[in-house]
Amino acid sequence: MIKKEQKELARWAMQYALKKGCQECRVGIYSGSESSFEVRDTQLDKLQQAEENQMVIYLFVDGRYGSISTNRMERRELEKFIADGIASVRFLAEDSARKLPDPSLYFSGSEASLELYDPKFQSVSADEKLKLAKLAAAEIYGSDARIISVSSAYGDNESFAYIVSSNGFEGESTTSSFGVSVSVSVKGDGDARPESYWYDETLTWESLRKQGIGKRALERALRKMGQTKIQSGKYPMLVENMAVRTILSPLMSAINGSAIQQKNSFLLDKVGQKVVSEKMTLIDNPLLPKALGAKCFDREGIATKKRNVFENGVLKTYFIDSYIANKLNMPPTTGSPSVLYFDKGDGTQQELMAKMGNGILVTGFNGGNCNSSTGNFSYGIEGFLIENGEPKRPISEMNITGNMLTLWSNLSGIGTDALKSSSWQMPSLLFDAVDFSGL
């Protein structure tokens, strides 16, 4: 929890900034603690524990703007830091779009209904944590002669935020998270050592998967044995749920307010237009209880709400914070998506594979990028050649190349296997006619 003294310090810092020349001010205090245990093969490799604090102060001075942040919480030091910060901001050019949000947009109430914090956080002992990390590795260590190395990790953290602003916002947020992961390297053909990993992450200790992570990681590594590249060509592409984030990110960046305001987006002026497949209804729901990434208010204090990002292929919204909103003369939404998911799915990954018939299942991306202005992309991939709905052989060292709007217009199937261990709860997705480069 944020301590009473920390709240007092935040309010004091705000008042001090106002006294020293700010017309408006917002202060955030963030604190947290974390612990982690890493195991290699059978032995503890690394343990780490720490606590940290940070104060961020947003200064609005004579129509000018700057921010300062520090982990030094002594008032004497803060006084000098704030005064120096204000002095620096005064040198800048004016920017009339910089002001605190309209108070009517602020969240008021409690986030308790989201259940983002496990009250048992403090009661899990170090021994239990270490035991879990060791068990995750022990699940597979020595179980297959091809295993070269197994690394597992348990990690948790609790984080607290308190934000106060001079035009009336006061908000508090508390979250916890627990995670376990296993990565494994196996002896492949020649010198190759295929590796893979699996993990789970949840908001509560109870809901954390405590078994099966190691086995899943090993399966994923072993199935990579004998990867080769195949002939270049256009193939249908099924992207596994774990990998979808890579190709969704450019769409989310393209509807970020800053990109729109800078006219540097392939989705500029596209709200209300059908830009992707009509199968695509993508929802941002920051208010989904017990979900990683859920929140009642953004970093400015603006209340979040559920909204459709794409609806039957039509772009419904940009993500704009109050600064960009003022610049564009539009109402603010929030600066970024929180919890993203598709409204419905067509079937399991296996069923999508059967529907695809012949094509490529992409299980991971390797590098690559997307041009934010044009949507042109190119990414390295690995995965499997699929024939008659079944994996035929593992492939790697190939690229996919194309344009984001064409790719997403070719979305033809949505999985029912959305991953809950991430704030973007992505299912496996099927696309038609993607350019693969290999031999």
Partner 1 sequence: MSCSRREFLKTGGMLAGAALIPGAALLESFSPKELTLQWVLDHFKVTENELRKVMAIAMENGGDYADIFFEHTLDSMLVLRDGKVNSTSSNIDFGVGIRVIKGDQTGYAYTENVTMSDMIRAARTAAKIANGITGVKTTQIKEFPLKKNYYNVISSWEETAVKAKMPFLQKVNDKIFSLDKRVSRVIVSQTDSTSYILFFNSDGVLMHDYRPMGTLGATCIMEQKGQIENGRSARAYRMGAEFLTDDLVETISQEAVKQTALMFDAIKPKGGEMPVVMGAGGSGILLHEAIGHAFEADFNRKNTSIFADKLGKKVCDASISVLDDGTIPFNRGAVNMDDEGVLGQKTYIIKDGVLNSYLHDRISAKHYGVAPTGNGRRQSFRFTPIPRMRATYMENGNAREEDMIASVKRGIFVDNFTNGQVQIGAGDFTFFVKSGYLIEDGKLTRPIKDINIIGNGPKALSDITMVANNYKMDNGTWTCGKDGQSCPVTCGMPSVLVSKLTVGGENA
Cβ proximity to partner 1, 4 vs 76, nearer residue: 76
Cβ proximity to partner 1, 234 vs 393, nearer residue: 234
Shortest distance (Å) from residue 214 CB to partner 1? 12
Shortest distance (Å) from residue 264 CB to partner 1? 5
* Calpha distance 255→277 (Å, rounded): 17
Cβ proximity to partner 1, 11 vs 299, nearer residue: 299
Shortest distance (Å) from residue 366 CB to partner 1? 5
CB under 8 Å to 223, separation ≥6 — which residues? 384, 391, 394
Cβ proximity to partner 1, 1 vs 87, nearer residue: 87
Shortest distance (Å) from residue 351 CB to partner 1? 28
Shortest distance (Å) from residue 396 CB to partner 1? 6
* Calpha distance 361→28 (Å, rounded): 44
Cβ proximity to partner 1, 72 vs 392, nearer residue: 72
Shortest distance (Å) from residue 85 CB to partner 1? 5
Structure letter (DSSP) for residue 195: E
* Calpha distance 338→362 (Å, rounded): 25
Shortest distance (Å) from residue 353 CB to partner 1? 23
If phi over 0 gives left and psi between -120 and 50 gives alpha, with beta otherwise, what is residue 433?
left
Shortest distance (Å) from residue 408 CB to partner 1? 17
* Calpha distance 311→307 (Å, rounded): 10
Cβ proximity to partner 1, 93 vs 145, nearer residue: 93
- Token digits for 293? 């990434």
Q: What angle do CA 211, 214, 215 make, to 5 degrees?
A: 90
Cβ proximity to partner 1, 180 vs 302, nearer residue: 180
* Calpha distance 394→196 (Å, rounded): 14
**């041009």: which residue's tokens?**
371
Q: What's the gap between Cα 227 and its chain centre?
A: 29
Cβ proximity to partner 1, 69 vs 207, nearer residue: 69
* Calpha distance 335→257 (Å, rounded): 7
Cα 186 to Cα 108, 194, 225, 276: the distances in Å are 53, 6, 9, 40
Shortest distance (Å) from residue 364 CB to partner 1? 8
Cβ proximity to partner 1, 42 vs 143, nearer residue: 42
* Burial of residue 91, with CB atoms counted within 10 A of its CB: 0-12 exposed, 13-18 middle, 19 or more buried: exposed
- Token digits for 45? 């490799």
* Calpha distance 4→302 (Å, rounded): 23
